[in-house]
Structure 1
Amino acid sequence: MIGNLTLDQLRVLVTIAETGSFSAAGRRLRRAQSAISQTVAVLEAAQGVTLFDRSGHRPRLTEIGNVLVGQARLVLANAGRFEAMAAVTREGVEPELAVAIDPLVPTAPLIESLRALRDAFPHLAVSFSTEGLGGAERRLRRGDAALSFCILLPSVPDDIRALPLLGARLVPVVAPSHPLTQLGRPATRADLEEHVQLVLSDPSDPEGPRHGIMGTRVWRFVDLGRRLDFLLAGLGWCRMPEHLVAPLLSDGRLVPLVIDDDPARLAGPLTVYAAQMCDRPLGRAGRWLLGDLQARFEDAIDCRPV
């Protein structure tokens, strides 16, 4: 009961509106017409409004009755979600699943997996955030995310349980108009020193891990898309996830940059992890998402070393 209001009264009101009469509502709800009429009368008296115009052959919703039917539908829908969430929580499903990802994580398998999660757990509340480099790990540590998909540099911390999902290939690329394309040979470190390198960095720790940085002329970006804009404009060179630049390489908007004795190439791809705090185990939905994503990444991404 909500004050002088009950969900049963709202259910009766909505059913009358849907079926068109008190008698039809009684048949659907398996109640006598007199019981339906009494429920409406009590509801009208308690709220101090007239819901039905009874002057004609059939009662018709008044103007306020039409408005309150819409409100009744919202209340009943929310009550249904309340009960469904309580039910699945009793079965071991977390009431909410918060997910965070770093910019280097491929999104296509993640989108498909989140869509499948919605079908498998329709009443689960899911929150999702994309972060700058290092941001997904920070949200995990603050308790704002139960599951993060991220790069963990320089290594996996002791308090995080991390499942390797895939190797993220970072390939050196440059716009066709950039001077480095005119060398006619692999670029040396001395060549790269003369040009700007566009670097994806952690905004809270810009001087953090320097994976793949080859010179001193560095422009730092938090957003992968904005860095791509600068790359396509020929304002520098950078290493980009292979899955993102493959179509740009195919249509000639970017070209590969071959680097002599490239230490990043020798180190191989970066590892993308599914990470959770050791002291905060996942619920059923989180474990389901993790398993589904693992299968999708294995199918979608070639994880062989560069």
Structure 2
Amino acid sequence: MLEALSIDQLRTLRAVAEAGSFTAAARKLGRVQAAVSQSIQRLESQLDLKLFDRTGRVPTLTEHGAALVAAAEKIHEDVEAVEALVARLKRGEETRLSLVVDAMFPNAALVGFAREFAAAHPAVELTIATEMLDAVTAMVRDRRATLGIAGTDADLAGLEQRHLAELRMIAVAAPSHPLAAIAGPIEDAALSSAVQIVLSERAPDGRGSADRGVLSTRTWRVADLSTKHALIVGGLGWGYEPEHLVREALARGELVALRLMAWGTAAPLRQLSLVRRKRSALGPVATWAVGRLTDLCRLALREATQAST
């Protein structure tokens, strides 16, 4: 019985219910009144239900008819969603965007991007993962993410990259740490005996990742930024953190910036790049995402720098 129902019949039923008469519904649908009446009659016959009371001058919905109209409304929404999906597919648009970002990517930019994405592409599913170092590029390489934002110190084999921004890295320690008491530039000899908290990762084969920016001979290794930050704030070591992540902690006095002789007057920079698989075509949604991620990241970092000066 239900298999014989057509979307057109349900649209006609909704039109009659909304217009209030067969004649008005016919005008709305661009049909003759007889065709609308016949469509409703066939629907009533197929369902073996009386949908309209025709005893009055104007047909009115029966209780059964009203219930069916309510169900038809839900079906109409689903049909519209399918039609919109087909239209997007014909235009080459994606139905899903998967993104993986380095944990050092500014949260303000990520939230701003998600907000704009929801407004610009409400029907497209968004997946965001946060990883560290080589894990970012591995997700893109293994097709678990369409786009990635990775440090250029990560393994970029098999990927195309586009410069995104520079992260200004600051050497920091807790005010109680011995290094914080050194007024001038800190010499390498003083660093060598101090524990450096190092962000590291462990590959599936059990090998540790290559050291990045290690100046101390004594290191504690952690696998996430929050643990590194907590250990440094706790006075257990010193380390590098992105300026935009420690700006507030510096302002509150929870951390102090260290002047390292090894780096001179210039703060070390970490390059961020947008990465994707080589020769992979980007649809319009991913292309839009590349532009907005770039702009929002640079804006967030610029605002963080201005707030620190």
TM range (shorter): 0.7 to 0.9
Which protein has the larger Cα radius of gyration, Structure 1 or Structure 2? 2
Displacement of 1:16: 5.6
The two structures, once aligned, show a CA RMSD in angstroms of 3.7
| Alignment: residue pair count | 298
Question: Aligned partners of 1:9, 1:226: CA distance in 2, in Å?
Answer: 61
Cα distance, 1:197–1:45 mapped onto 2, change above 3 Å: farther
- The 10-residue stretch of structure 1 (168-177 or 77-86) with the greater mean CA deviation from structure 2: 77-86
Provide structure 1 residue ranges, at least 5 long, that are not aligned to the other structure: none
Structure 1 residues 34-113: aligned runs within 5 Å: 38-40=38-40, 42-43=42-43, 46=46, 59-60=60-61, 62=63, 66=67, 71-113=71-113
Question: Aligned partners of 1:51, 1:179: CA distance in 2, in Å?
Answer: 84
Which residue number in structure 2 is paired with residue 124 of structure 1? 124
Displacement of 1:97: 2.4
Displacement of 1:183: 3.8
Displacement of 1:137: 0.9
Provide structure 2 residue ranges, at least 5 long, that are not aligned to the other structure: none
What TM-score, normalized by structure 2, do the two folds share? 0.76
Partner deviation per Cα, 1:184-242 (whole Å, 9 max, x = no partner): 444444544554433333343661121122333313123x3343344333343321111
Contact 1:199 1:220 (8 Å CA) reproduced? yes
Cα distance, 1:299–1:8 mapped onto 2, change above 3 Å: same
Which residue number in structure 2 is paired with residue 3 of structure 1? 3
Cα distance, 1:93–1:43 mapped onto 2, change above 3 Å: same
Which residue number in structure 1 is paired with residue 143 of structure 2? 143
Displacement of 1:22: 4.8
Q: For 2:229, what is the secondary structure of its paired residue? A: helix
What TM-score, normalized by structure 1, do the two folds share? 0.77
Q: For 1:239, what is the secondary structure of its paired residue? A: strand
Q: Is the aligned partner of 1:292 residue 2:292? A: yes
Which residue number in structure 1 is paired with residue 170 of structure 2? 171
Which residue number in structure 1 is paired with residue 152 of structure 2? 152
Which residue number in structure 2 is paired with residue 269 of structure 1? 269
Cα distance, 1:50–1:275 mapped onto 2, change above 3 Å: farther
Question: Aligned partners of 1:45, 1:199: CA distance in 2, in Å?
Answer: 75
Which residue number in structure 2 is paired with residue 201 of structure 1? 200
Displacement of 1:160: 1.2
Displacement of 1:277: 0.9
Contact 1:50 1:65 (8 Å CA) reproduced? no
- Provide the identity percentage: 29
Q: For 1:210, what is the secondary structure of its paired residue? A: coil
Which residue number in structure 2 is paired with residue 227 of structure 1? 228
Which residue number in structure 1 is paired with residue 260 of structure 2? 259
Partner deviation per Cα, 1:117-163 (whole Å, 9 max, x = no partner): 44444443433222233222111111121211111325643x21100
Which residue number in structure 2 is paired with residue 243 of structure 1? 244
Cα distance, 1:297–1:46 mapped onto 2, change above 3 Å: same
Q: For 2:99, what is the secondary structure of its paired residue? A: strand
Displacement of 1:101: 0.8
Letter in 2 for 1:275: V
Cα distance, 1:28–1:267 mapped onto 2, change above 3 Å: same
Q: For 2:273, what is the secondary structure of its paired residue? A: strand
Q: For 2:235, what is the secondary structure of its paired residue? A: coil
Contact 2:200 2:221 (8 Å CA) reproduced? no
Which residue number in structure 2 is paired with residue 210 of structure 1? 211
Cα distance, 1:284–1:37 mapped onto 2, change above 3 Å: same
Partner deviation per Cα, 1:28-59 (whole Å, 9 max, x = no partner): 44556665565455445545667678899864
